[in-house]
Amino acid sequence: MKTKKIIWIALTLAAFCFIGCFTTKPKVKGPVLTPARHSFAENEEKAVPITFIQGNKVGVRFVDCNDVIRPNSAEGTYWERDSLFPVEKPLNLRVYVYWDEDRFGERRRGIFKCPPLEANKEYKLWFKGNYKSGSLILTYANVGSLDYSSSGKPKFEIVYEQILPPPPK
């Protein structure tokens, strides 16, 4: 009789535990992050996106525009890789250029003197080169990679190219 009571109590407790587990909502491990796009333009209708191309070994990371930084994103969000920039006026975009060669990871900070952008267009900013020489290349967003022909001519349309000066000694 005593054994039946103990088994009955154990089964009752187990049933409450299982029922409790099935009725509680699963916990989310963290906030669900939703992307947001930041605009540096006063009027978003007169703004276009620039995507800063970041690869595993070579890339461009955006820092600020005309000394204005992107604010921290709101809780539960993050900034998309591209931001909106005003059209029809030149911009000074501060960027980090990075590349990994052999075992050394290098990066340089500098100003990309962006020409006036056209309305209703989308752009990408690429880096091509290495630590000693290279350039920042602004293209339209439809460019998938910086492919060159065997004669050295680009197979894509360059909107603007800025040669990087050699690093300081």
Query: Residue 13's pLDDT is what?
Result: 67
Q: Write the pLDDT tens digit of every residue in 47-60.
A: 999 999 998 888 89
Q: What is the pTM of this model?
A: 0.75
Look at 154 and 159; give whichever has higher pLDDT: 159
Is the pLDDT at 85 greater than 70? The verdict is yes
Which of 5-9, 141-145, 154-158 shows the lowest per-residue confidence on average (mean pLDDT)?
5-9
Model confidence over 9-51: pLDDT tens digits?
A: 666 666 666 666 555 555 556 666 788 889 999 888 899 999 9
| Average pLDDT, integer, range 149-154 | 86
- 134-152 as b/e: b if 16+ CB within 10 A: bebbbbeeebeebeeeeee
Mean pLDDT of the chain, nearest integer: 84
